[in-house]
Each structure stands twice: as structure tokens, then as C-alpha cells.
């Protein structure tokens, strides 16, 4: 049953790119030129940052990180900064800069011990990896390999809401209650790390920007879904407290279709409810349910397990490309209905016949820290 996967295969798109902010040191000027040339060589066209490019390389003042204000949620931002001294703790210094500059990926450049430079790539998941200081062409090859997944992807994070959820489902059912129980259980297992308190470091204006673009009030982690019937499934909504998934139409949503022309998921909600957005990972779950009728439930957590197959490219959540890679890895497993797929530098997507089936299989095997690799 590959019809859906096949019908929505679309060519990879190369984003238009733009530069924003001041590359105000010799090193940053060299960096801007090098990465710009590498991206143009790959076929990316350079445009003005006002033109809603797919990717913006945004130079950030480390003392005063300011956001690049996207006009469209389809714009990815790679923040870049250089500091004069290497901090003891890279992440606690650089992660707030990623958040304050509203970047999807943050490139943090420090002096290295041998007089060169070290380049750290800080991810939204609060991890990082390092590029070695090498000769120019190799270095920009490596930098581009980390930026490219953001510069050739399509986000499927639009929603089409239909307020026609059948009456008997409006207060939920055994499946939505199973999702509620799973959320409590994940919380009990310590697998719902406290959402990063972005409201504490962003101004009210920037928070409004984040809410408008992404519909979230904090970076929340993981998600849970359960199949309702052949074509639909219930899933935890975007940016909600996963330890309290109670209200249908707000905390738990019935995902009922995917409209590729609009990069949108269709959500059926009760009338009169102001719905939350679908999880950015809904497209990934959609593909899995469509292709494998034996999948009854899916859990995604930011944790790891020993000996699993993992995606090669760290595509952003909510992209068509990530969903395709996860589908491919599930397909290759002996039993796609009971698969564990690693999402590089990010976490796990686990399929099962039911949520209990998943919990039984992961019991005692979860590694909290996701390994970070270049
Ligand atoms: Zn995730």
C-alpha cells in the first residue's frame, strides 16, 4: 500500500537564500563569502532578505542578539556569531542566542586552543556538534552539509480546520484516553523535559512573533498518536503540555487528511472550539499510518536507544523530507508496524500496534541523552 507515499513525492526544492545583519569581523566576512559561494555553487539563488527567501543567514551581535523577523513561517533562519573568548559551557552561552535571534540553527564561532577557530552548530533540541577548522573548501563543504537540510525542505505545518468532528467523538473516546495515559506515563518516565522557557528570555513582541509564526508558547517535546480508523488518527497538538492531554480539539486532535498542494494537514474539531495547531510531526505520522495498516500507535520522544537505524540528515521537524526519511527507514525494518527509527541528533519515532505495545518494547531501554553527531 504505497499509493500515498508515491503520490506525494515531490522534487526537492533548493531554497532562495539571503544574508542579513553585519558580518563585522574579518573572519565573518570570510565566512559569509565562503558559504555564499558554496550555496550558489549548489544552485541556490541569492535574493534580498525582504523577499521571503527559504533560508536567511543572519549575522548576530553576541552582546545583543536580535531576531530576524520572518514574514513567512517557511523561512528558516541560520544565526551566525563569533565571540572573542571560548566560554566554558558552549550550550548555556549559545542556546539563548539561538532563541533570542529566533534561529532554527545557530553557528557559534570561537577561538580554538591552537590559535584557529572552532565552529559549533547549536540545534533547537539544545545539542551541538563541532566543525574542525580546516582549509576553506573543506570547511565550507562541512558547513553547507549542516545548512543544506534547512535550505531544501518543505514545511508541512499549515492546518485546515473542519468543525465537523462527529458528535460521539467530541468528548473523546478510549483512544484519546489512551493518549492521555501515555502522556502521563512519558512524564513519569522523565521523557517530557521541561519545555525551554523561551518566554523568559524573549520580549513580549518577539513572543508574539513566535506565536504567530509557530503557534507555540514554549518549545515542547515529543508527541503521541493513536489510529482511529483507516484514514484518521488522534494526535497530541502542537506546543501543549503533554502530561495533560485532555481536551479534544485543543490538546488532542483528529488528523483526517493531508493536502499536498497547500502543505497542510486537515484537522476535524468540535464546533465552537478554538483549535490548536496540529503537531509539526503530523505529516510524519500520516505517512506511517497510511502506508502500514498494522500501525495502531506512534510515539515520538527526544531520547535514544542502543543499536537503532537512524536518518542520515538532520532535517527540521515538520518537513516533508524528514517524513519521507522516517517512512523509508520504517519500511526497511523487518516489521514496520513495530519499528524504532532514530532521527539524527533529535530523537526516536516508535511505531506499535498499540501504545501499550510501544511502552512494553521500550521499557528499560531508553537513553535520555540523544547522541549528537556532525
Ligand atoms: Zn521532536
How close is the Cα of 32 to the center of ligand 1, in Å?
Answer: 30
110 occurs within a structural domain: yes
Q: How many residues does the chain have?
A: 374
Shared domain check, 183 and 124: no
**Which segments of the chain have a pLDDT < 50?**
1-11, 215-218
What's the CA-to-centroid distance between 167 and ligand 1, angstroms? 32
Question: How many domains, the chain?
Answer: 2
116 Cα–ligand 1 center, Å: 34
pTM over 0.75: yes
Position 356 in a domain: yes
Label residue 168 exposed, middle or buried (CB < 10 Å: 0-12, 13-18, 19+).
exposed
Domain boundary among 150, 175, 210: 150
DSSP string, 3-61: HHHHHT-----PPPEEEES---SHHHHHHHHHHHHHHHHTTPPB--GGG--SEEEEE--
Q: Are residues 166 and 137 in the same domain?
A: no
Query: How many Å lie between the centroid of ligand 1 and the Cα of residue 318?
Result: 9
CATH of the domain at 49: 3.40.50.10300
**Ligand 1 center to residue 191 CA distance, Å?**
12
Where is the domain boundary, 150, 180, 209? 150
Q: Is residue 16 located within the same domain as residue 140?
A: yes
**Residue 372 domain-assigned (yes or no):** no
Distance 303 CA to ligand 1 centre (A): 9
Q: What per-residue confidence (pLDDT) applies to 160?
A: 95
* Residue 132 and residue 175 share a domain: no
- 171 shares a domain with 123: no
Q: How far is the CA of 317 from the centre of ligand 1 (A)?
A: 6
pLDDT at 3: 33
d(CA 134, ligand 1 centre) in Å: 32
**DSSP track, 124-143:** TTS-EEEE----HHHHHHHH
Please give the pLDDT value at position 100: 85
162 and 231, same domain (yes or no): yes
Domain coverage including residue 38: 3-150
- CB of 317 closer than 8 Å to CB of 220: no
Cα of 194 to ligand 1 centre, how many Å? 14
137-142 — which CB contacts under 8 Å span 24+ positions? 139/34, 140/34, 140/35, 140/37, 140/38, 141/38, 142/374
CATH of the domain at 274: 3.40.225.10
Do 146 and 209 fall into the same domain? no
Quote the ligand 1 centre to 200 CA distance (angstroms): 22
Question: Does residue 371 belong to any structural domain of this protein?
Answer: no
Last residue of a domain, one of 126, 150, 174: 150
Separation of CA 223 and ligand 1 centre (Å): 8
> From ligand 1's centre to the CA of 114, what distance in Å?
36
d(CA 238, ligand 1 centre) in Å: 11
Do 144 and 162 lie in a common domain? no
User: How many angstroms separate the alpha carbon of residue 255 from the centre of ligand 1?
Assistant: 18
Expressed in angstroms and rounded, the spacing between residue 220 Cα and the centre of ligand 1 is 9
The rounded Å distance from CA 302 to ligand 1 centre is: 6
Kindly report, residue by residue over 279-311, the tens digit of the pLDDT: 889 999 999 999 999 999 999 998 999 999 999
Mark whether 287 and 185 lie in a shared domain.
Answer: yes
Beta bridge partners of 130: 120
Ligand 1 center from residue 300 Cα (angstroms): 6
Is residue 369 a part of any domain in this protein? no
Distance 125 CA to ligand 1 centre (A): 8
Q: Which 3 state secondary structure label does DSSP give 361?
A: helix
Is 198 inside a domain boundary? Answer: yes
Give residues with Cβ within 8 angstroms of 257, minimum separation 6: 160, 231, 265, 266
Distance CA 212, CA 67 (A): 14
Distance 198 CA to ligand 1 centre (A): 17
Q: Do the domain assignments include residue 241?
A: yes
Same domain, 133 and 199: no
How remote is the CA of residue 3 from the centroid of ligand 1, in Å?
Answer: 26
Residue 374 lies in a domain: no
Q: Are residues 74 and 133 in the same domain?
A: yes
- Whether residue 357 sits in one domain with residue 220: yes
Amino acid at each position: 500500500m504505497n499509493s500515498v507515499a508515491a503520490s506525494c513525492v515531490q522534487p526537492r526544492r533548493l531554497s532562495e537564500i539571503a544574508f542579513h545583519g553585519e558580518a563585522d569581523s574579518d573572519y565573518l566576512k570570510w565566512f559569509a563569502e565562503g558559504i555564499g559561494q558554496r550555496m550558489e555553487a549548489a544552485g541556490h539563488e541569492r535574493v534580498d532578505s525582504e523577499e521571503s527567501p527559504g533560508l536567511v543567514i543572519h549575522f548576530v551581535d553576541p552582546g545583543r542578539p536580535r531576531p530576524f523577523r520572518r514574514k513567512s513561517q517557511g523561512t528558516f533562519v541560520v544565526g551566525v556569531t563569533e565571540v572573542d573568548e571560548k566560554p566554558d559551557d558552549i550550550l548555556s552561552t549559545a542556546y539563548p542566542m539561538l532563541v533570542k535571534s529566533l534561529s532554527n540553527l545557530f553557528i557559534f564561532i570561537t577561538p580554538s586552543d591552537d590559535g584557529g577557530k572552532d565552529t559549533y552548530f547549536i540545534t533547537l533540541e539544545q545539542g551541538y556538534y563541532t566543525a574542525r577548522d580546516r582549509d576553506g573548501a573543506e570547511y565550507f563543504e562541512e558547513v553547507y552539509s549542516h545548512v543544506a537540510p534547512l535550505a531544501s525542505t518543505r514545511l508541512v505545518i499549515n492546518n485546515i480546520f473542519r468543525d465537523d468532528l462527529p458528535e460521539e467523538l467530541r468528548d473523546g473516546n478510549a483512544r484519546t484516553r489512551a493518549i492521555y495515559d501515555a502522556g502521563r506515563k512519558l512524564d513519569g518516565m522523565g521523557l517530557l523535559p521541561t519545555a525551554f522557557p523561551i518566554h523568559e528570555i524573549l520580549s513580549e513582541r518577539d513572543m508574539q512573533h513566535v506565536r504567530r509564526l509557530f503557534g507555540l508558547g514554549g518549545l515542547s517535546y515529543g508527541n503521541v498518536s493513536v489510529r482511529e480508523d483507516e484514514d484518521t488518527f488522534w494526535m497530541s497538538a502542537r506546543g501543549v503540555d503533554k502530561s495533560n492531554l485532555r481536551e479534544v480539539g485543543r490538546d488532542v486532535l483528529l488528523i483526517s487528511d493531508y493536502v499536498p498542494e497547500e502543505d497542510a494537514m486537515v484537522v476535524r474539531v468540535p464546533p465552537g472550539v478554538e483549535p490548536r495547531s496540529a503537531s509539526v510531526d503530523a505529516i510524519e505520522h500520516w505517512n506511517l499510518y497510511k502506508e502500514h495498516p498494522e500501525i495502531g500507535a506512534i510515539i515520538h520522544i527526544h531520547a535514544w536507544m542502543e543499536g537503532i537505524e537512524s536518518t542520515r540528515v538532520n532535517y527540521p521537524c515538520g518537513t516533508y523530507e524528514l517524513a519521507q526519511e522516517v517512512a523509508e527507514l520504517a519500511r526497511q525494518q523487518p516489521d514496520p508496524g513495530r519499528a524504532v527509527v532514530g532521527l539524527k541528533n533529535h530523537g526516536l519515532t516508535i511505531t506499535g500496534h498499540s501504545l501499550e505495545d510501544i511502552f512494553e518494547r521500550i521499557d528499560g531501554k531508553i537513553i535520555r541523552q540523544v547522541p549528537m553527531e556532525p
